[in-house]
Amino acid sequence: MKKAKTLLLYAAFTLMVILCGLFGKDKWYNILFSALAVVYLLLLTEGRRCGYLLCCIYAVGYAVISLRTGFYATAAFHGLFLFPVSVYRFFVLSKKSGRAAAIKMLSFKAWMASVVLCPALSVGLYFLLRKTGDVQPLLDSVILSLSLLTSAMMFGNYREMWWFNLAASALYVVMWLTEFFSSGTGLSFAVMQTVVSVINIKGIVDWKKLKNDG
């Protein structure tokens, strides 16, 4: 029964992204990688090792798409940070159980350091991205800062990564909706990031349970 509910959840979220992408007449590869993102994140909420493998594929594809769109910070993050971190996480996990390593929690000092570091990084990246001609330097810089912190937490298997990823996904929705209204593409990514926001909340709840059970 639990497996049936899980499969239904995967199918519902994935179908929602695909249908919205088709409705918005988005490009096929945007729809494909949007659906892939939903699946890999759902797998990660359950601590599944194979989720990191799908994340590797998604990271490369999304990096190329973002680069072509002009979101240089997003492209750099997915290609240079998320991809190698996902590869690392995939190979260090237990091959026998297929589940992730022990879930950790940030200390209060680490939380404070992350909160201070995020705006500091965002300011520096904003001016850098303006120089490179990024399409949306403000949003892209804040998202990159949040995403870098998320990757660092993913690397160490910290459950707080879901909180930072939730903030990033919410800003991604704004960024891709802006792109959709200006160029007509990116609706599937906007919908995907909306779904991702829900998945991040699921990740927060699920990893709390996994942490308590562990």
Q: What pTM was computed for the model?
A: 0.80
**What pLDDT digit, counting tens, does each position of 52-108 carry?**
999 999 999 999 999 998 888 889 989 998 999 899 888 876 554 545 567 889 999
Residue 108 near residue 89 (C-beta atoms within 8 A)? no
pLDDT at 94: 54
177-191 burial string, b = 16+ CB within 10 Å, else e?
bebbeeeebbbbbbb
Check pLDDT > 70 for residue 2.
no
pLDDT tens for 151-207 read 899 888 899 999 999 999 999 999 999 988 988 888 888 988 898 899 899 889 988
State the sign of the Cα–Cα–Cα–Cα dihedral 151, 153, 159, 160.
Answer: negative
pLDDT of residue 56: 95
User: Measured between alpha carbons, how far is 169 from 107 in angstroms, rounded to an integer?
Assistant: 24
The tokens for 78 are 């997915």
pLDDT at 197: 93
**Residue listed under structure tokens 């797998």:** 43
Taking the domains of the chain in order of start, what are their residue ranges? 2-96+104-213
Chain segment 16-54, per-residue pLDDT in tens: 889 888 887 888 998 999 899 999 988 888 878 889 999
